[in-house]
């Protein structure tokens, strides 16, 4: 098998069995992990904001610099090296988090639904809700804290 072969229903296989192409294809490009987070100083809890990385293309609904993202944003998450420590703070709809926790993808995931339409109708993508970090001062992020709506 080639490293670029997408096997039938590969998203049901353990993450450790996926080849690089399957690993990349698992991402739904929702953009949720590109939102800015704040950490509570006392309890250490993490909250999400609707402020998003300046490189996220809000029209396309995808990273606008994917191949150069490590150079442009050094702390950008590398899903290929994500581990159990990283995954606990990922949105609970994230395909990597779901699979790392042994759960199935949601029906709206483009791999199951065949397009992004169901994901957009379910309100999973951030492209129509997010605000570029270019337009918000970092000290004002707390004014844009959000709470995920349960999608079960």
Interface residues with ligand SF4 (CB under 6 A) are 27-34, 53, 55-56, 63, 65, 69, 72-73, 76, 79, 90-91, 94-96
- Nearest CA-CA partner of 94 in 44, 40, 35: 35
Nearer to ligand SF4, 2 or 150 (CB): 150
Nearer to ligand SF4, 7 or 65 (CB): 65
Least CB distance to ligand SF4 at residue 3 (A) = 20
Least CB distance to ligand SF4 at residue 42 (A) = 26
Distance, CA of 45 to CA of 109 (rounded, Å): 28
- Nearest CA-CA partner of 23 in 90, 75, 62, 79: 79
Nearer to ligand SF4, 4 or 80 (CB): 80
User: What is the token pair recorded at 54?
Assistant: 């300046």
Nearer to ligand SF4, 7 or 62 (CB): 62
Least CB distance to ligand SF4 at residue 105 (A) = 10
Distance, CA of 28 to CA of 149 (rounded, Å): 18
Within 8 A by CB and 6+ apart from 112, the residues are: 11, 105, 106
Least CB distance to ligand SF4 at residue 57 (A) = 8
Distance, CA of 145 to CA of 152 (rounded, Å): 22
Nearer to ligand SF4, 6 or 27 (CB): 27
Distance, CA of 48 to CA of 147 (rounded, Å): 7
Least CB distance to ligand SF4 at residue 150 (A) = 16
């Amino acid at each position: 098998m080639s490293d670029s072969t997408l096997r039938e229903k590969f998203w049901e296989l353990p993450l450790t069995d996926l080849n690089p192409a399957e690993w990349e294809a698992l991402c739904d490009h929702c953009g949720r992990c590109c939102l800015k987070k704040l950490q509570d100083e006392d309890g250490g809890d993490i909250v999400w904001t609707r402020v998003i990385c300046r490189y996220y293309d809000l029209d396309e609904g995808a990273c606008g610099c994917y191949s150069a993202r490590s150079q442009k944003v050094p702390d950008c998450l590398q899903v290929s090296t994500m581990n159990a420590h990283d995954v606990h703070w990922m949105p609970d709809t994230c395909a990597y988090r779901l699979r790392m926790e042994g759960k199935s993808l949601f029906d709206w995931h483009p791999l199951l639904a065949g397009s992004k339409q169901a994901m957009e109708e379910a309100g999973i993508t951030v492209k129509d809700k997010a605000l570029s970090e270019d337009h918000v001062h970092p000290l004002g992020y707390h004014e844009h804290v959000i709470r995920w709506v349960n999608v079960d």
